[in-house]
Structure 1
Amino acid sequence: MNFTTKERNLLEDQKNQEKMCVQKYSNYADLATDPQLKNIFTQLGQVEQEHYNTIEQLLNGQMPQMKQSGGGSQQSGNQQGMSMSSSQSGQNQMKSAQSQTSFIPQSQSSGYNTSDKDLCSDLLMTEKYVSSSYNTAIFEFRDPQIRDILNHIQKEEQQHGETLYQYMASKGMYQAQ
């Protein structure tokens, strides 16, 4: 792949952000007191690792193949293809993490650990920032396949934010006003 200097710099930035997400989710899973939250952090951290791997593949000149949510796949032409496993497994992990928050009574408003709330708040802000930076990168790439890959990752980042929000709202940590 022949990236412009700007495109390569954007990918390097995204790679560094994904590395930070992986580290935060891993560290925060160790710090969380709620076993459900530990599981959510672990699952989302695994998807972040897949994002990191995908960006690394791009930087190494490999075009990951994207599986569509409907089961089809986008072909990468004659370029060397690597499976983007975050597409399918990431969606399954996020659905699992989201479904775990759906059975918690909505009326539970003060039964949370303040430290868990701080961890969630930090990760939610991080996801907002990372999603925003993908938005900028998407507009800067010439190759529509690369834009599609970045868009896919951005959508997963947004789903991470939704998972965190749902957990926080279910525990009374986040009051939508």
Structure 2
Amino acid sequence: MAICFAVRAALTTDTLPFLSHFMLPGEASSSAPNAVQQQREAGPYNQPLPVEAYPYTDTEVIGGDSVSAIQRRLLEKYPSPSAAIIERTRLEAQDLFEVKVQIIQKMAQWDPTGDWMGRGARALDNPRTASGEESFDRLSNIWKDLQETGPLSDVFSTLQNKVLKKR
């Protein structure tokens, strides 16, 4: 490996200028003019993509559920999870929570008699899984069906029967 680095260092634009055409951006030798380096750094292709903040806090409760509660349920199967597993389950919990909130808000709009904002997330549980959580794919399909079919959807009726009515 050291040989590869030595050969690469020897074959820079200092010794063989024609090689600069075959190098990746940022690989040019340190003797390249500062204007060229600055142009590469400031170009539109080097701009970072905008990052949109996650719209919910981990402890925000909507429909009787929160990101931290979902994450806790996902982590139950790991006796001593690593930092990577904890982070992965946090991201998974955020995804699940976001789709659940979309479904709950739509159901609350269409079925005002149901306790969607209080306990609506329980209608989206899956007791057949170890964590009690429905998969992201299944929740996405529920959301898609509600968007396409609306209150006439079979999913709408199923969820409506699962949620408690307000008293």
TM-score, with normalisation over the residues of structure 2? Answer: 0.26
Name the structure where helix makes up a greater proportion of residues: 1
Structure with larger Rg: 2
TM-score, with normalisation over the residues of structure 1? Answer: 0.25
Name the structure where strand makes up a greater proportion of residues: 1
Q: Which has the higher contact order (CA 8 A, sep 6+)?
A: 1
